[in-house]
A and B are shown apart, each in its own frame.
Chain A
Amino acid sequence: MSDTVIEPTVENPPVVFTQDKIGWTAWLQPLAEGELTDRHYEALVDKARAKSAYFALLVRDPDILEARTKTDNDIFYNTKDGLPRAERELAATAASRLNGCILCASVHSRFASQYSKREADVQKLLDEGVGADLGERWNAIVSASVALSTTPPSFTADHAKRLREAGLSDEEISDVVHGAAFFNWANRLMLSIGEPTPAG
């Protein structure tokens, strides 16, 4: 079997950072639902993801997808303690804005707005970029997320100090680190195996 890439023709592709819902189309062939085994469904964690081109493509390697998804879910959804969900989503949005992942930024900026009720500030981050002034606590989180996202990473004790002065505990700073670091994983996948489309 000789594999081939897909070169989609996307009409009116999203070309700005937005909190609106947008879509995504794959550049490699996802598995069809008829090809999925029990192992694939287990690796998808959430069965509804079989209908997503992104996850149906990633499930070709089920072991890493399953471990990745469970890491992702714990970093963002385990909010019994630690950093509020809104600020984990802010870290994800800042990393996505810096790396240039329009789709990741759309999903996670929506979550950041939903949980913080600060839609205008979130939009300012999307419109102006990672230098936008969002108030000291959010500025400190964005600045730390950006420093972690550069290659090589440039996160230092000064970033941690600024976060502590903004009221974050070391547990919460660790949540910022994980949220930003995880999006350096997510952005690279989302940007490199497909592209954004208008909302489906």
Chain B
Amino acid sequence: MTDTIDVIDHLVGITPGAPADALRSRRPITKEHAQKSWTALFEPVDESQASLVERFAVAVFVAVLHGDKSIKEFYGTKLAGLENGTVILATVTALAELNAAKGPYGHYPEGPLSAENTDGPALDIGPTYRAILGDRLSAALEHAYLLTYHPRDASPAELQKLLSAGWSTTGVVTLSQLVSFLAFQIRVVAGLRVLAAA
């Protein structure tokens, strides 16, 4: 898979010479490395610790959790082109739509900030979806849900669930970067869309 387009420009709908093009072009290093971040995650040199299907499935899931249809379509098209991709695409889309919430919420370490604790859902994928997705991808999606909506509820026990489902330490690092990068990318796109429309 080779992408020569700049993904953020593509997602915002930036055309050469538009005001938003100028906003991005004045920060060429940011633009270059945001794109290289995308390439590192979605055109990886080594997919032994996290497969392409897993990466794009998580991306579709996170885009839907953010309520962003066009970004979901972008990752969904790529997922659909991978082995078993159309089934996974339909499944993760349905799962994300059913469990969409609003973040951030979660708990603080016990102390004065406990007064600011807010509760919200955690994702526990049931047997019907799990049968299609498998334990490894199910664990990744559950963790992506935590990172997207309630990252301050993270714990070693949550990481143990990933390791128990077959993720390696390096795979968990890649997965965590991927979900966190998407949180960045989706927000840059959301912000630039507003500026581009002005």
Contact = CB atoms under 8 A, between A and B. Distances in A.
Interface of A: 1-7, 13-17, 27-29, 57-58, 60-61, 63-68, 70-71, 73-75, 78, 81-82, 98-102, 129, 148-153, 155-157, 159-160, 170-171, 173-174, 176-178, 180-182, 184-189, 191-193
Contacts of A151: 65-66, 102-104, 148-149, 183
Given A63-B44, A174-B192, A78 B159 contact: no
A188 B30 contact: no
A60 B40 contact: no
B3 interface: no
23 contacts: A1-B168, A2-B163, A5-B157, A6-B156, A29-B169, A61-B49, A67-B37, A68-B33, A70-B29, A100-B104, A100-B113, A102-B108, A151-B103, A157-B194, A170-B19, A170-B23, A174-B27, A177-B187, A180-B187, A181-B185, A181-B191, A188-B151, A188-B180
B149 A64 contact: no
A138 to B, nearest CB: 18
B82 interface: no
Contact of B113 (A16, A81, A171): A16
Contact of B159 (A170, A178, A193): A193
Given A67-B33, A170-B23, A192-B154, A182 B184 contact: yes
Contact of B37 (A16, A17, A71, A178): A71
A71 B188 CA distance: 12
B156 A61 contact: no
B10 interface: no
Given A15-B108, A188-B183, 18 more contacts: A3-B163, A4-B160, A5-B157, A7-B156, A28-B169, A60-B169, A64-B177, A67-B37, A67-B40, A71-B29, A78-B27, A100-B106, A101-B151, A148-B187, A155-B194, A170-B195, A174-B23, A185-B184
A150 B188 CA distance: 13
A193 B195 contact: no
A136 B116 CA distance: 25
Given A58-B173, A67-B36, A177 B195 contact: yes
B74 interface: no
Contacts of B68: 152
Contacts of B148: 151
A171 B20 CA distance: 10
Contacts of B39: 67
B156 A192 contact: no
Interface string B46-69: 000100000000000000011110
B151 A99 contact: yes
B196 to A, nearest CB: 10
